[in-house]
Amino acid sequence: MMMNPSLKNLSKISSGTIIEGKWHHNRYTIIKQLGFGANGIVYLARHDSKQVALKMSDNGMSVTSEVNVLKAFAKVQGSALGPSLLDVDDWETSEGKVSFYVMEFIKGPDFLSFLKQKGPDWTGVMVLQLLADLQLLHDNGWVFGDLKPENLIVTGPPARIRCIDVGGTTMQGRSIKEFTEYFDRGYWGLGSRKAEPRYDLFAVAMIMINTAFPQRFTKKSGGLEEIMEKVKQSPELTRYEKIISYALSGKFLSANEMRMEIIQVHLPDAPSRSNRQQKTAKQPPFPRQPARSPVKKAKSSTSVQTRKQFNKGKKKFAALETITIILVISLMYFFYIYSQIT
């Protein structure tokens, strides 16, 4: 293992220090430290009179890994969720080499502080923005993974949700790279850690819950009931109760489905009813109703069942077909052998 300066030493870089890249020779002047985590330290720095965020780590490969993700983000057209990548380089110090990358500086309060300032009216809007970005990310074959309020920043005005830590972003079908227990469905016993869109939707629902419970409740034995119990205690979350329950149990198949339902919640109830039905007639993924109507729910589950039964029937038919063919052929073969012998 090569000797690199430790994370502790890297966290003590004083303002005014100039960091020059070994490969691309860009110079960055450190202004102040922005954050400190297990994977590295983020500094605010100046480059050509512009402010940038510079992240360095004692682990070169973790820098490389994050850079790969940021590059993937850059390919997602129209999404502004992650910070844009500006430079990747090595800084040669007297103690050894430090890998770093430079990204756009995203300025603003974090998600929970923003909502505390502005009030719960903004929860829906922010979640809608987040879901739209997630849909784009999912469409491109990725899953965000480590979604949590600390990683979300609201810039603006106009208010726009952005994400500052993309370290958990994982290719779909792989296992989630990084996660935080409270926002992880595996921790709550509600699913695997395989990267798929529904993993992120679970985390979004937990973020919504976190807005009403800033202290975050602790897990007792896990399970949907336990979380929904808490949700029911919060007046802010009543309107989202059904949506949260669906997202937690993996019933939304895409971010768009969840998004549509949140939009429904925010529509004025009486006037645009016919309008609404027209709109949703195209994609009815969610039994749309003004809360608690067991009939509709039952209906949706039976429709799933009938589909299953239909599939079963299909399978049965196929098996029967196979057996018949085998029987007929073996019968013919038997006669052939018989005729050969005699």
Partner 1 sequence: MKTGTIRQILLITDGCSNQGEDPIAMAALAKEQGITVNVIGVMEHDVIDEQGMKEIEGLAMAGGGVSQIVYAQQLSQTVQMVTRKAMTQTLQGVVNKEIQQILGGGRTVEDLPPEQRGEVMEVIDELGETVELDVLILVDTSASMKQKLPTVKEALLDLSLSLNARSGDNHFSVFVFPGKRKDVEKLLDWTPKLESLTSIFAKLTTGGITPTGPALREALPYFDKKRSLRSFLNRDDESFFEESV
Binding-site annotation, residues for ATP: 55
Cα–Cα distance, 231 to 285 (Å, whole number): 23
- Interface characters, 77-116, with partner 1 (x: CB under 8 A): -----------xxx------x-x-----------------
Residue closer to partner 1 by CB (options 146, 261) is 146
State in angstroms the smallest separation of the CB of 67 from partner 1: 6
- Residue 223, interface with partner 1 (CB under 8 A)? no
- Token pair 């600390």 is found at 150
Active site residues: 146
Within the chain, what is the greatest distance between any pair of CA atoms?
102
Interaction residues for partner 1, span 15-74 (CB under 8 A)? 23, 60-61, 64-65, 67-68, 71
Please count the other Cβ atoms lying within 10 Å of the Cβ belonging to residue 283. 11
Stretch that binds partner 1, among 27-35, 106-114, 171-179, 203-211 (CB under 8 A): 171-179
State in angstroms the smallest separation of the CB of 139 from partner 1: 21
170 Cβ contact list (under 8 Å, min separation 6): 142, 143, 145, 176, 177, 195
**Phi/psi of residue 339, each to 5°?**
-70, -35
93, 184 Cβ separation under 8 angstroms? no
- Interface characters, 176-215, with partner 1 (x: CB under 8 A): x---xx----xx----xxxx--------------------
Residue closer to partner 1 by CB (options 127, 166) is 166
Q: What DSSP assignment string belongs to 197-218?
A: HHHHHHHHHHHHHHHH-TT-PP
b/e 47-62 (16+ beta carbons within 10 angstroms → b): beeeebbbbbbbebeb
State in angstroms the smallest separation of the CB of 214 from partner 1: 19
Residue closer to partner 1 by CB (options 148, 259) is 148
Cα–Cα distance, 237 to 244 (Å, whole number): 9
The residues of the shown chain that bind partner 1, judged by CB under 8 A, are 2, 23, 60-61, 64-65, 67-68, 71, 88-90, 97, 99, 173-176, 180-181, 186-187, 192-195
